[in-house]
Amino acid sequence: MTAPQPLIAGNWKMNGTSASLDEARAIAAGVGECPARVAICPPAILTHRMSQALAGSRVLVGGQDAHWDDAGAFTGDISAEMLADAGAKLVILGHSERRTGYRETDDIVASKVKAALRARLEPIVCVGETLEERKAGRALDVVTGQVRGSLPAELSGQTFSVAYEPVWAIGTGLTPTTPEIEEVHRAIRGALVEQFGEAGRAVPILYGGSVKPGNAAEILHADEVGGALVGGASLKADDFLGIVRAL
């Protein structure tokens, strides 16, 4: 089976206003012929304008979260259908900032994945261990458990990716060593093949957590790394393009 096409996605989190659309335009202008698919996931309020700003470019727009229901009395929430209607093609689900800050369990994440599929959004499902779990030697168990619990059977035959994001590496400047990343990615691959058969080999496994232009080449060329989910360094076009070009 051929290796999956890599995906490099920027997660802007709660950063950016309409002025930031220029940064997205600069990313689209500089992305060139890189072998990866490239996406930016801005705050939901920018989805529509960013989709318009990037129309005709290679850069896709994604959401950062979506509700598990399609519509209803959920004040302040955004549905997958709304993101798709605003031009999003992908959506990040189960980010550790949602799992921790909003108590999202694997079951909730799996429900959100199903909602994304109903809206024809491509899910990027995040998993990752805390520092305590790593120190206790539980990283592989935690991460493969999250993969099994957060990926519903409905994903069979669909396009999606998994992002391994060690919680302790997000926004901290810390990264696991390359052998540590490879060990977890191989374990995730094993869990994907167990769950989805040979099709599990075609799922890109992204790495996320303090990816920068300076460490991107080593990380992106590691075994079983199929791209990156980038937080802070995706906010500046030069930094994000430095990562994209490292592939």
Q: Are 119 and 71 in contact (CB under 8 A)?
A: no
Q: Which residues bind ligand PEP (CB under 6 A)?
A: 11, 165, 170-171, 208-211, 229-233
Give 128 or 196: the residue with its C-beta nearer to ligand PEP. Answer: 128
Give 80 or 230: the residue with its C-beta nearer to ligand PEP. Answer: 230
Residue number of the CB atom closest to ligand PEP: 231
Question: At its nearest, how many Å lie between ligand PEP and the CB of residue 124?
Answer: 10
Identify which of 113, 135, 130 has the alpha carbon closest to the alpha carbon of residue 122.
113
Active site residue 165: yes
Question: At its nearest, how many Å lie between ligand PEP and the CB of residue 208?
Answer: 4
Give 27 or 170: the residue with its C-beta nearer to ligand PEP. Answer: 170
The residue from 67, 81, 95, 97 that is catalytic is 95
The residue from 81, 97, 165, 224 that is catalytic is 165
* Identity of the residue numbered 240: F
Identify which of 237, 217, 236, 238 has the alpha carbon closest to the alpha carbon of residue 228.
217
Q: Give CA angle at 178 (176, 179), nearest 5°.
A: 100
Question: At its nearest, how many Å lie between ligand PEP and the CB of residue 229?
Answer: 5
Identify which of 118, 42, 39, 110 has the alpha carbon closest to the alpha carbon of residue 79.
118
Helices marked H in 15-105 — which ranges?
A: 21-30, 47-53, 80-85, 96-101
Give 81 or 127: the residue with its C-beta nearer to ligand PEP. Answer: 127
Determine the longest span between alpha carbons in the chain, in angstroms: 48
* Identity of the residue numbered 62: G
Question: At its nearest, how many Å lie between ligand PEP and the CB of residue 140?
Answer: 20
**Please, which residues have CB within 8 angstroms of residue 10's CB and are 6 or more apart in sequence?**
27, 39, 40, 41, 230, 231, 233, 234, 235, 240
Active site residue 95: yes
Question: At its nearest, how many Å lie between ligand PEP and the CB of residue 171?
Answer: 4
**Residues noted as catalytic:** 95, 165
